[in-house]
Amino acid sequence: MGQQKSREYFCRPSSPPSVEPTAIVSDQLRPSSETPGITVLPAQAPSEESDLQDRSFDSIDSTTGEHQVAAPLLLSAPGSSTATAEGRRSIASRRSSNGSQESIGTRDPSALAQTLPKLNTSGCRPPIFLPPSPMSAGTHTGDTIPSVGNLLVSPNIPEWLRRVVDKGIDISTFLHEEYKEIENLEVSRIREGGKGPGHPYSYSVAQQSQNMRRNRYYDIIPYDKSRVVLSSPSPSDKSDYINASHFQGLPGTRPYIVSQGPMESICGDFWQMIWEQKTSLIVMLTNEEERGRVKCHRYVPRTPGQRVQYDNLGGISVTLIEEETMPNGEVVLRRVSLEHGRETRNLWQLHFTAWPDHRASSPQSVLSVLDLSRQLQTLAEKETDAGPMVVHCSAGCGRTGTFCTIDGVLQLLENQSNVHGQDDLVRQTVDKLREQRVSAVQTVEQYAFCYEAVLYRLLEWQHGVGDTRPAWIQLAPTAGPGSDRQ
């Protein structure tokens, strides 16, 4: 590869406020050409509609409607393999017939459907006492954190969170400085991990030529130590690699498997992972297409009764049993049947459609989806030997990492783990997750959103909302014992 000129990245502010939720422009700090030990290899320049953070391979031509390939950026470090022309061609051609073979059929959904438990979906509607979404109302990153935090009475806000709220007008500067530290630590890990296999942060397996085509984005790849290993090699190229990671925050929190959004050529591998890990719940946080780009291939059959079969493990079939859209229209709940040999398993897919890439979502909506995912996972664990839930967006780091961070911090608060300690649980959780997956919580806006969502949940508890309120929370005078909304 010839010498190429490196491209530097600069911070850009959030979009100005409007009545609709504002589009969040990337504020991610990426290594520049001057970062020691890191080479930034620029590829095709982003189009005017995209931004530096949108690194999807798939795009759709607005005139022809055809799929196109947009090459992203690759981070490489000393000792790591860099993308060759052959490697880039193999990635671009990943949609060839080398993918898992599949066949499509139809089955009677009524014969498959079992008695499905009625779920409490009332929480999908935001509580009426809460103010507007801070991400759509603010003009600077996290600038509503102080105002939301100051609605809490003193005993209901942990000391570490009080220190963040008390930053006041300096909250945006504080969050940017904290996030820059997080990014700098990751740059060091990438540099060290590039020294080769055996290093704690090595990512050599993901960069093997046969596996590069399996990555939706060049720079979002799993570390060797935390990657999910397929127990039986993929039938297409005999690889045990899938772009997914085992993921867990601080002690006392639930484990997850986080994944990139499946590509067409690896849908069979994705379902193989679901089978092998005994997953009973998939949380999908992306739409299949956003802003004219393919973010995730449709891996669930489209109509009830439709069955898709893959060659993995000698044959896996996936059938959609039923699909339900929640009352607020933001959540689609699908019941799926997964068959291998003589065994059949039923699982849920919880698809949240209101969290577009690089745009604002509302804390109330995200918290409602989180609550529903907990309910489904708990139900599955009671009925079966369920493994970890699988959470994915498009890259499996930004929205996914944010979702898992919020869930982990709330679990610690619910269990009264270090509630009134000095350690910032949000910062510690993000640091921990970043050790297991590159770019977990991908932008400073998402980092701020973690604090905002935690504050909103504390505010709900203070007003007697929800059935997870811990004993240390004091109810507001207007919230009586009968005000719990189950």
Q: Which amino acid is at 447?
A: Y
450 token code pair: 């973690």
Lookup: tokens for 417 = 């783990």
Q: Please, which residues have CB within 8 angstroms of residue 48's CB and are 6 or more apart in sequence?
A: none
Contacts of residue 201, defined as CB under 8 A and 6 or more positions apart, other chains included, come to: 189, 190, 192, 193, 223, 225, 435
The token duo for 279 is: 């997953």
Catalytic residue among 296, 393, 404, 450, which?
A: 393
Q: Which residues contact 251 (CB under 8 A, 6 or more apart)?
A: none
Report the C-alpha gap between 131 and 306 in whole angstroms.
Answer: 43
Half-sphere CA count of 37, side-chain side, radius 13 A: 15
Which position has the token pair 């009475």? Answer: 153
Query: Rounded CA gap, 58 and 92, in Å?
Result: 9
CA distance 142 to 234: 44
DSSP 437: B
Ranges of beta strands (E only) in 56-96 are 58-60, 67-69, 74-76
C-alpha span between 423 and 410 (Å, rounded): 15
* Strand, coil or helix: 439: coil
- The Cα-based distances of 475 to 175, 345, 458 in angstroms read 30, 42, 10
DSSP states along 144-177: THHHHHTTS-GGGS-HHHHHHHTTGGGHHHHHHH
Structure tokens at 129: 């006492």
Residues forming beta bridges with residue 104, ordered by sequence position? 308
Give the C-alpha separation, 133 to 186, whole Å.
30
Please give the torsion angle defined by the CA atoms of residues 84, 88, 90 and 96, in that order, rounded to the nearest 10 degrees: -170
Is residue 397 part of the annotated active site? The answer reads: no
With beta carbons less than 8 A apart as the criterion, state whether 141 and 14 touch: yes
268 in Cβ contact with 99 (< 8 Å): yes
Closest C-alpha to 468, from 485, 453, 455: 485
Closest to 123 (Cα-Cα) out of 410, 465, 354, 481: 465
Q: In what order do the strands lie in the sheet with 241-248?
A: 102-106, 306-310, 316-325, 331-340, 343-352, 281-284, 389-392, 255-259, 241-248, 227-229
Instruction: List active site positions.
Output: 393
